[in-house]
Amino acid sequence: MTESAAFLTALRLSDSMLPVGTYTASYGIEQYLNEGRIETTGDLADLVAGYLRGIVGPAETVALGCAHRSAAAGDLDGVLAADERLAASTLPAEFRESSTKAGGKLLDLLADADGPFEGAAGDELVEEYAAALDAGETAGHYPVILGLLCQRAGIGRREAALVGAYSTVTGLLGAAQRLGRFGHTEIQSALSGLFPTIEAVCDRYHDADLEAMCSFAPLADVMGMRHERADRRLFMS
C-alpha cells in the first residue's frame, strides 16, 4: 500500500497546476500541426503512442528509473549519469531546453529551504545534485529530477514512471488541444486509449539499466528541429 502522503505527492506531481512551465512545451506537436500532419484525434493518439514507445519509455523512463534507483542508494554519480545519457539521447535542442528548464524549476521548488517540498530541503543528495546543476556539471533533465524527487517522497519506482509518462502524455495532448481543434471528450477518450501503452512502457523500462537507454522517433526529432525555425510558434518546443 502506498502511503497517503506519497500518493498525494504523486497526484501533485502529475497535476498541471505544478508550476514548472510544462505547458510551454509541445515537444514537436506544434510542428506536426503546423505542417498539417495531424488531422483527427485518432492521428493524435497514434502519434502520442509513438512518443511513448520511441522516447518516453526507452529514454525518459529509463532515466527516471535510474535516477530513482541511484537516489535510493545515495549514489549521486548514478543520478548524474542518467542526466548525461538522457541529454545525449535527446537530439532536438528545444526538447533538451524544455526538459532542463522544467527540471530546473522542479528542483527550485524541491531544494528551496522555504519552498513547498520542505522534506527534501536539507537532503544531502538533493543539495549535492543542486550544486552540480548550479556549477553547470549536469543538465537537470525533468525525468531525472522527477525520479529523484519521487524516490525521496516515498513513491515507488514503477509509480514514479507512471507519473512521468502520464504527465508527458497529458502535456502532449494538452498542447495539441490548445493548437488544433479537438473535442474535449475525444481527447479524454484518446487519453484512456493510451493507458495500456503507458502501462506497458513503464513496466518494460522502469527497472532498465542505463546502458539500455535509447531514443528512436526520427520524425519527432525532425519536427523538433524544424520548430526552431518555424515562422509562427506559440510553444518553446
* Binding residues for other proteins (CB under 8 A): 17, 19-21, 23-26, 101-102, 104-105, 175, 178-179, 231-236
CA–CA gap between residue 52 and residue 234 (Å, rounded): 23
User: Whose Cβ is closer to other proteins: residue 101's or residue 152's?
Assistant: 101
Shortest separation between residue 29's beta carbon and other proteins, angstroms? 10
221: its cell numbers = 526529432
Is 3 or 35 the residue whose CB approaches other proteins more closely? 35
We find the least distance from the C-beta atom of residue 111 to other proteins, in angstroms, to be: 14
Find the shortest distance in angstroms from Cβ 13 to other proteins.
Answer: 14
DSSP 163-213: HHHHHHHHHHHHHHHHHS---HHHHHHHHHHHHHHHHHHHHHHTT--GGG-
Residue from 146, 12, 10, 163 nearest 68 by CA: 146
Here the cell at position 33 is 500541426
Minimum Å gap between C-beta 155 and other proteins is 22
* Rounded Cα gap, residues 115 and 220, in angstroms: 36
State CA 16 to chain mean position distance: 13
Task: Using the minimum distance from each CB to other proteins, give the nearer residue, 112 or 207.
Answer: 112
Residue 9 or 237 with smaller CB distance to other proteins: 237
Give least dist CB 108 to other proteins, A: 8
Let me know if 15 is exposed, middle or buried by CB neighbors in 10 A (0-12, 13-18, 19+).
exposed
Nearer of residues 26 and 138 to other proteins, judged by Cβ: 26
